[in-house]
């Protein structure tokens, strides 16, 4: 059983509490790997960002759910933008992972139906530590610069990949002034430009996921105590504040945290929490229950039941 219990010697004889559900991950590749393990115990996983259509296969991923649409919808939206502006000759940049491969496959299918052609397709290594990354970035930049008739580039790459591409392609005047169609991977990132300006890039159309007002979450972040020792049960926050919040007199650590928060992610995670809460509520109304009597399989069943009511 997957569990998250106290490992202190004094508590060694106490059974650890079972994990009944998992929220995450953002990237499809990680969700695929994690849900395969969780399936062994029928533990439901609800992702707030994994959009690969492969995860819709219930035979392979029976306990996987998500609060975001799959990438076929994103591909259709991109094609609609291309049609609206009569852009029929485009370049494509993606990463060599489940997300990137599936997104380009769906884009190609919808583009072909609308007589939109790909001048080139550049596929980058998924991981930044890959020894082929530098050569792939150079090759991609070369394709962008040398294909002078290609004014529109669609990118499903990740934030760091795009940062490297922009840093090189914008050094050449032929690489500037393009139209970029940004996938949800990097459309809202504030770091892709690094030291460059948007006017250097050209025009960016960004695809993003549905969100709502996240001001309450921002208020919650602003009310946080910046003392790392106050957050011993939240390892992420404790580590972040240890790194960023030492002698933080002006609240810069919290401002940094807010700047890294995406409203759509807050909304999607909220939906996931709501689904789990509804499932547990329904189970516990019908009987007396606690974490030791609830089973992941029945929690998963009730989450599925309520998913369409969110």
Q: Which domains does the chain have, with CATH numbers?
A: 9-69+263-307 (3.40.50.2300), 71-206 (3.40.50.2300), 215-259 (no CATH)
Can you give the pLDDT at residue 99? 87
Count CB neighbours of 172 within 10 A. 12
Can you give the pLDDT at residue 14? 45
Phi (first) and psi of residue 64, to 5 degrees: -90, 135
Q: What order of strands is seen across the sheet that includes strand 45-47? A: 22-23, 45-47, 64-66
Rounded-to-10 torsion of CA 76, 80, 86, 88: 0
pLDDT digits (tens, 9 = 90+) for 239-269: 888 887 565 655 688 888 888 887 888 889 9
Distance between CA atoms of residues 103 and 110, nearest Å: 11
Instruction: Let me know: does 44 contact 303? Beta carbons within 8 Å.
Output: yes
Q: What average pLDDT does this structure show over 179-197?
A: 90
Q: Is the pLDDT of residue 229 over 80?
A: yes
Distance between CA atoms of residues 115 and 180, nearest Å: 19
169-183, 197-211, 251-265: least confidently modelled range: 251-265
* HSE of 310, CA atoms in CB hemisphere, 13 A: 24
Distance between CA atoms of residues 95 and 161, nearest Å: 9
Can you give the pLDDT at residue 249? 57
Q: Where are the alpha helices (DSSP H) in the chain?
A: 28-38, 71-84, 98-113, 133-146, 159-169, 198-201, 215-222, 235-244, 252-259, 263-286, 296-307
Phi (first) and psi of residue 47, to 5 degrees: -90, 145
Can you give the pLDDT at residue 5? 45
- Residue percentage of the chain with pLDDT more than 90: 46
Can you give the pLDDT at residue 248? 60
190/129: higher pLDDT: 129
pLDDT digits (tens, 9 = 90+) for 87-136: 999 999 999 988 899 999 999 999 999 999 999 999 999 888 889 999 99
Instruction: Let me know: does 177 contact 169? Beta carbons within 8 Å.
Output: no
3-state secondary structure of 183: coil
- From residue 255, alpha-carbon distances to 207, 224, 262 in Å are 25, 11, 13
């Amino acid at each position: 059983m997957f569990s998250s219990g106290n490992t202190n010697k004094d508590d060694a004889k106490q059974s650890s509490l079972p994990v009944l559900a998992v929220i995450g991950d953002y990237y499809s590749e990680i969700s695929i790997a994690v849900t395969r393990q969780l399936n062994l115990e029928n533990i439901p996983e609800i992702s707030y960002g994994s959009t690969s259509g492969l995860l819709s296969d219930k035979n392979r991923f029976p306990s996987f759910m998500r609060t975001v649409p799959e990438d076929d919808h994103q591909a259709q939206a991109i094609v609609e933008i291309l049609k609206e502006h009569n852009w029929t000759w485009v370049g494509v940049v993606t990463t060599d992972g489940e997300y990137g491969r599936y997104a380009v496959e769906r884009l190609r299918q919808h583009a072909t139906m609308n007589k939109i052609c790909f001048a080139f397709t550049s596929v980058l290594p998924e991981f930044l530590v890959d020894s082929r990354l530098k050569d792939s970035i150079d090759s991609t930049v070369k394709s962008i610069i040398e294909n002078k008739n290609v004014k529109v580039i669609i990118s499903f790459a990740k934030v760091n990949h795009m940062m490297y591409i922009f840093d090189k392609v914008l050094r050449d005047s032929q690489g500037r002034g393009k139209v970029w169609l940004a996938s949800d991977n990097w459309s809202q990132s504030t770091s892709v430009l690094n030291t460059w300006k948007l006017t250097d890039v050209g025009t960016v159309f960004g695809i993003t996921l549905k969100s709502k007002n996240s001001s309450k979450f921002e208020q919650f972040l602003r009310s946080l105590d910046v003392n790392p020792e106050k957050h011993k049960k939240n390892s992420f926050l404790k580590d972040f504040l240890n790194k960023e919040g030492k002698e933080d007199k002006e609240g810069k650590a919290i401002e940094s945290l807010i700047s890294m928060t995406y409203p759509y992610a807050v909304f999607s995670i909220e939906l996931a929490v709501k689904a789990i809460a509804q499932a547990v509520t329904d189970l516990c109304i019908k009987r007396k229950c606690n974490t030791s009597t609830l089973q992941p399989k029945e929690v998963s069943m009730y989450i599925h039941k309520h998913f369409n009511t969110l």
